[in-house]
Structure 1
Amino acid sequence: MKFTKMQGIGNDYVYVNCFEEKVEDPSALAIQVSDRHFGIGSDGLILICPSEVADCEMAMYNADGSRGEMCGNGVRCVGKYMYDYGLTDKTEITVETLAGIKTLQLFVENGKVAKVRVDMGSPILTPAEIPVVAEGDKAVDEPILVDGKEYHMTCVSMGNPHAVVYVDDVDNLPIEEIGPKFESHERFPRRVNTEFVKVLDRHTVQMRVWERGSAETLACGTGACAVAVSCILNGLTEDEVTVKLLGGDLEIQWDQEKNKVYMTGPATVVFDGELK
């Protein structure tokens, strides 16, 4: 089976072109290829498949084999793959995901896609739809007790659930201890991705992310979008935010008039290979 390893600001996946390849058990394959010692090494597996409603379909699996609804960094790489590997000659394409159809604008330099702007759609703020157990019509600055300590979270779904928590020190946060406790907390029926955030100024924030099914990753595109929405809801930033992640920066805009979130960032091929 031929594959391509790609990364979006350090959020790396193994990509398989299912226009040409057939994957029988994607969950098992995701576990196999994600292993950084005995496999290829990645945050998961993404299949690029034919679609009846879009230019292609993105089927995304986490490192533990669980299916994910959406991956912002992953979908940018799908756009780059479609163009760079000759599956399309368009610079605006649509991608079918479990979180709906996403529209991608491809920025081409020297015949290759350098960065991608993704229409991530409208943020979901209704607790039951995220889902999170909370009172009221939004979970904004909502208290939550984790391991005996009270935190405040703002919950947003960008097709997958996120809890945004503000902290004073992102760099020294014991994320390996606290991340799993948020992920499996009883208030999140489908588990949750947790973003720990420090606001640097009205246009810039810093974050680390604990992703359900993958532990800490260098970047999370949907998480960066959720963080920007959360910051705006809490009055902490303007509508355009640079989100600084361990793997690099993403530019996020929440157009509140259209109620659309746009994410712009790079996409990079690491290498091509073949799994025997």
Structure 2
Amino acid sequence: MRRHFHKMHGLGNDFVIIDARKEPFEVTAALARAIADRRTGIGCDQLIVLQPSESADLRMRIWNSDGGEVQSCGNATRCVILLTGVQSIESDGGILEGENLGVEVEVSLGEPRFGWNEVPLAYPMDTNELPMAWDDLEHPQALSVGNPHVVFFVDDLEAVPMEYVGPVIEHDAAFPERINVNVAQVEDGDVRLRTWERGAGLTLACGTGACATAIAAIKTRRAESPVRVTMPGGCLIVAWAPGEPVRMRGGAVHVFEGELDLEALQ
């Protein structure tokens, strides 16, 4: 059996996208891992499947490279808008809206959530400053922008061993749905960011991570909206004010398309 797919990326955060609006496509954790494998599959950070929706132009489902399904992905949202031309997307993290501006795509991820049970955390804590620490990383902010994030601000971004501390924090028992880990350094109001993405590891860019970090920087007066967030894969512009949705603007690239031989992945 063969299925048509598109390979796209947003600042190096790459996706395999399968349009299942007319013909259903069933995904298991094993199939998601096989497609995402960079040696024996197509290779991607996330597998994206598009389905019909009754509340938006389409529904987007997201599987990380470890086979786990997650709620939202900002970079994938920009790619789907570029690919399909839609303006509203249903996700498990809420309704996402966006517009193709030509050179860039802008998306709205809705209002961030700061309640401990909205992130979620395993028990009540002050999400503005979690009473937790891992080595030299301590007291992060926690929030949800459709999926859960913690944000640490540091003086030396390169000194943080993300490959070691990222998975430790991701799997901490305080985070029942695991957590995306963002470590940021602010310089003259601009943010430099590295993100350990749950289920995918250290990525070149994370759209929701950029949004969460920009919100945290604005809340603590480290930066003013709109915030320029620079990641290894490139830059995003994030705008937010309390009580309003967070908006993110950046590039999206269609790399190639092809036919996936599902039997070859078994």
* TM beyond 0.5: yes
> 1:255 offset after TM fit, Å?
2.7
User: Which among 187, 196, 205 is matched to residue 183 of structure 2?
Assistant: 196
CA–CA distance in structure 2, aligned partners of residues 42 and 213 of structure 1: 12
**Amino acid of the structure 1 residue aligned with 2:148:** P
5+ residue gaps, structure 2 = 262-266
User: Which among 156, 178, 191 is matched to residue 165 of structure 2?
Assistant: 178
Matches within 5 A, 1:148-167: 149=136, 151-167=138-154
Say if 2:117 and 2:124, in contact at 8 Å, map to a contact too: no
In structure 1, the partner of 2:196 is 210
> 1:125 offset after TM fit, Å?
0.5
Q: Secondary structure of the equivalent of 1:7?
A: strand
CA–CA distance in structure 1, aligned partners of residues 227 and 137 of structure 2: 27
- 1:33 partnered with 2:22: no
In structure 2, the partner of 1:273 is 258
In structure 2, the partner of 1:56 is 58
Say if 1:77 and 1:267, in contact at 8 Å, map to a contact too: yes
Aligned length: 259
CA–CA distance in structure 2, aligned partners of residues 145 and 259 of structure 1: 30
> 1:271 offset after TM fit, Å?
0.7
User: Which among 232, 235, 240 is matched to residue 226 of structure 2?
Assistant: 240
Q: Secondary structure of the equivalent of 1:223?
A: helix
> 1:26 offset after TM fit, Å?
4.1
> 1:169 offset after TM fit, Å?
1.8
Query: Quick one: percent identity of the two aligned structures?
Result: 39
* Aligned CA distance change for structure 1 residues 150 and 222 (closer, same or farther; 3 Å): closer
Structure whose residues are more often strand by fraction = 1
**Amino acid of the structure 2 residue aligned with 1:95:** I
**Amino acid of the structure 2 residue aligned with 1:76:** R
Q: Secondary structure of the equivalent of 1:54?
A: coil
> 1:37 offset after TM fit, Å?
1.1
In structure 2, the partner of 1:100 is 94
Runs of 4 or more, structure 1, over 3 Å off, are 133-136
Say if 1:141 and 1:234, in contact at 8 Å, map to a contact too: no
In structure 2, the partner of 1:111 is none
In structure 1, the partner of 2:129 is 141
5+ residue gaps, structure 1 = 109-113
CA–CA distance in structure 2, aligned partners of residues 9 and 62 of structure 1: 17
> 1:160 offset after TM fit, Å?
0.6
CA–CA distance in structure 1, aligned partners of residues 250 and 137 of structure 2: 34
CA–CA distance in structure 1, aligned partners of residues 11 and 137 of structure 2: 32
> 1:27 offset after TM fit, Å?
2.7
**Amino acid of the structure 2 residue aligned with 1:105:** E
CA–CA distance in structure 2, aligned partners of residues 54 and 18 of structure 1: 15
> 1:200 offset after TM fit, Å?
1.1
Q: TM-score under structure 1 normalisation? A: 0.89
CA–CA distance in structure 2, aligned partners of residues 135 and 275 of structure 1: 45
Q: TM-score under structure 2 normalisation? A: 0.93
- 1:17 partnered with 2:19: yes
> 1:259 offset after TM fit, Å?
1.8
- 1:252 partnered with 2:252: no
Q: Secondary structure of the equivalent of 1:171?
A: helix
> 1:107 offset after TM fit, Å?
1.2
> 1:275 offset after TM fit, Å?
1.0
- 1:123 partnered with 2:112: yes
Q: Secondary structure of the equivalent of 1:165?
A: strand
